[in-house]
Structures are given as C-alpha cells and as structure tokens.
Amino acid sequence: MRHTWGRFSALLLLGVAACFTRAQVDANQWGEDLDTLAEQLLTRHPNFYTKHTVDEFEDAFESLYARLDQLDDQQTVIEISRLVAMGGDAHTTVSFGTYGDAMRRLPMQLMLLEDGVFVTGAPESYKELIGHRVVSINAVPIDEVLDLVSVLFAYENESKRIGTSAWYATMLPALQGVGVIRDHHAETLTVTLEHDGERESRELPCELPGKLGKWTSFVQQLPQPWPLAYRKQGGSYQSDFIADHRAFYVAYNRCREAEDLPMKDFVEFVMRKCDELDAQRIIIDLRFNGGGDETVIWPLWQALQKSERFRDQGDIIGLISRQTFSSAMSNAQQLRDGCKAILIGEPTGGKPNHFGQLGSFTLPNSGLRISHSTRWFQKVEGDPDSVHPDVLTPWRSEALFGGRDEVLEAALAYSPED
C-alpha cells in the first residue's frame, strides 16, 4: 500500500481551466503524481473520508496505480477523476487543461430538461441539431449514459449530477472509461436523435475542442428580444424594470464586485429606482451564478431588510437553478432566511452545508492543477441536500426553445394565495 488519500472531483469547466502538460508522462511519473496528490490532499483537505472509508480509498488508489502502464495520459486523467470523485466534494477539482484540449468530443452541448435530454448548443456546422432530443449514444440509452459517467465527478445532490453528467456525456475518454464506447480516439459515433416526432441515427464526427469551430447556443437562435435573463448575463450584476408587472429585476451573475460599479453604489441605484418607479416587487435572479464571495451581495440584503416598500410575502423573490452553486447558493438561503423571500425555480447545485474556501497545488510531472476545499461551512441545521425552491419550476423543452422563461413568469405571477 502506498498512501491513503481522498476527496476530489471535476466541474463543468474542467476542459478549459489553465494548466500545463509535458510531452508525455510515463507510468512512473504518473505514480509520483498520485503519491503527491495523496499526500497533499490528505494534508490540505479538512476531511476526506465523508463518503467512503479509508479502505475503499486505498483499494481504489492501488487499483489505479497498478494499471498506470496500461493507460494513456487521457485515460489516466479520467481515472483520477473517478478516483477522487469518491470524496463527494464538488468544490475539490482537477483542471484537465491541455489534456482536456486533446480529448475528442461530440459536436453538441447537452442539457437534461423535464422532458428529456436535449441539444442546447453545437458548432456552426451542426447547429441544426439544437432542439433535438438525444435518445442514445452508441446505442446506449442517454439516461444510462448520464448515470454511468456520474462516477467520474463529485456531486452533492441530484441537481449537480444532472448538470455535470450532461457535460461528461459528450467527452470520448469519459465515455470509454465507463464502457459506453471502446475507443476514445474514434472519429465518429452514432447518436440517435428525435425531433418533431421523427427519430434518426446519425454518425457524428468526434473532434478536438479546438477544431470544432465557433459554437451556437439555442439562445442565439431565439427571436429578438431574447428573454430578459439571457440579455442580462454580462458582468457581475445588472438590473431592469418590468413595467407591466411593476417588478424590479436584478440579475446577480457572479459573487464578485464589479470594478466599475461597487455593490454599495449598485444597491443605492436599485433602491432609488424602486422608489421612483413605484416597484411593487423585486426579483433577484441567481440562476446562473456559480459562486465566489458570498459577502458581496450583503449590502442588498441589508437594504431589503430595512425597506418599507418590500414587506409583504412575495414582494421579494429569488430565482434559483441547478447552476446556483457555492456562495450563490448560500446567498439564496440567506435571501429566504433574512429577507423572507420566496424562492422559485429548481433545487440548487450544492448543499447548504458544504466544504469550500479553495486552495490549490500542482502535480509535478503532469502539471495537473488541483483545487481543493480548506474549510467546512455549517450554514443550516440538519443536512438538507439542496436549497429547495418554494415554487418548483423545472426547465421544459417547449418553453426553453420557444423563448419563454417559465421561472421568471412564475415569479411575476406569484401570489401568496396560490
């Protein structure tokens, strides 16, 4: 036995995070990196062994170590993801970096909606796939594919699992690692799609990310004007007034202070405009916020707590989704607890009580950069799996591809009597 070790996983942005690699890492060098990984994580992480026993970690570690001379670099990175995902800490991650850049992918971005798995983005040359429902990949039903790849990353609840598995399901080394395909160097894969009641199987090319060209999102195919939430995703925070409903809308996109507009000044502007425009409701959208510094938005909470304008149930509404994570998830909980806000949307992508506050280190031979949690945050009593909405409003394909924002619609239509 070489080392006991633990917790560690991968997020949606694995393939683009910065790191370096050397021309080729041999089995002995990967072994040294695994030793370093074990030593550093056991020293730095506050508690590795919350999901699996020490023996289970050791067995998995030794199994991977014994197979290093049978794996290429891409396969090794995927297997490290599988190994460290046993920890179940979605904040502790490995950045694939240039290894990810060398991994072939299917030309589509997927999203699990209420009524199936759909293509929500594609390279320009395959943008006609957007809006199609995915039935299977290499004859394996898509739901099974998503279940299989979920062993390759850490997740704390179902929201995180369904969000991240859709990303892994397009990556060939991940598909090979869980037995969906045999060869992660395959140039094409058969994908069965359904659209307008018609089903067809297509041979789709599998390319390196850099060769896929410019991508198109489903949002870009919607008629103008786009739904408000998509128009307001730039920067850390933006706002607008929805006159027909006398609702003031705040898009809180990142838990980070904007350089050109401090949160204090932004809050003063928001509260002044709410008075000038006689806003009857304020809606704070955290659906696309992956976290950062949870204290940034506290001046808004404090202003809302003091406000005489927003006092009744339903005057303050927060929008949440599977992408609401880390500090943004804590902000959603604080919005409800401290301001008596109504939360609408999906359960958040993490647990209120969680590991966080990141540190990092780099493996010496492969150059993989490891981000890891350094603290445990006990935010609420008990151990809820998510911040759950008061009004559940899941994503559905008809609305999504039809340009309707059902979550915002539910917020605008909300009545305490309902």
Position 206 in a domain: yes
Could you give the number of structural domains in the chain?
A: 3
Q: What is the DSSP letter of 208?
A: -
Domain termination site, one of 188, 218, 248: 218
Same domain, 50 and 140: no
Strands 342-345 and 316-320: parallel
Strands 109-113 and 116-123: antiparallel
For 176-244, the DSSP string reads HHTTS-S-TT-SEEEEEEEETTEEEEEEEE-B-GGGS-SEEEGGGGSPSSPPHHHHT-SSSEEEEEEGG
Average pLDDT value for residue range 46-75: 90
User: Which range is least confidently modeled, 48-57, 79-88, 282-291, 395-404?
Assistant: 48-57
Using the predicted structure, report yes or no on whether residue 362 has a pLDDT greater than 80: yes
Same domain, 69 and 156: no
Same domain, 285 and 405: yes
- Structure token digits, residue 379: 């935010």
pTM: 0.89
Under the banding of pLDDT at 50, 70 and 90, the label for residue 173 is very high
Per the CB < 8 A criterion, the answer to whether 75 and 141 are in contact is: no
Domain assignment of residue 211, given as a range: 109-218
Per the CB < 8 A criterion, the answer to whether 329 and 350 are in contact is: yes
Q: Give the model confidence (pLDDT) of 240-268 as tens digits.
A: 999 999 999 999 999 999 999 999 999 99
What pLDDT is stored for residue 19 in this prediction?
38
Under the banding of pLDDT at 50, 70 and 90, the label for residue 204 is very high
Same domain, 154 and 272: no
User: Between 324 and 58, where is the model more confident?
Assistant: 324
Q: What is the CATH number of the domain that holds 393?
A: 3.90.226.10
Domain termination site, one of 101, 131, 151: 101
Per the CB < 8 A criterion, the answer to whether 123 and 316 are in contact is: no
Q: Give the model confidence (pLDDT) of 108-125 as tens digits.
A: 999 999 999 999 999 999
Under the banding of pLDDT at 50, 70 and 90, the label for residue 48 is confident
Task: Report the run of H or E that residue 263 belongs to, with start and end.
Answer: helix 263-276
Using the predicted structure, report yes or no on whether residue 21 has a pLDDT greater than 50: no
Position 381 in a domain: no
CA 280 to chain centre: 32
Average pLDDT, the chain: 91
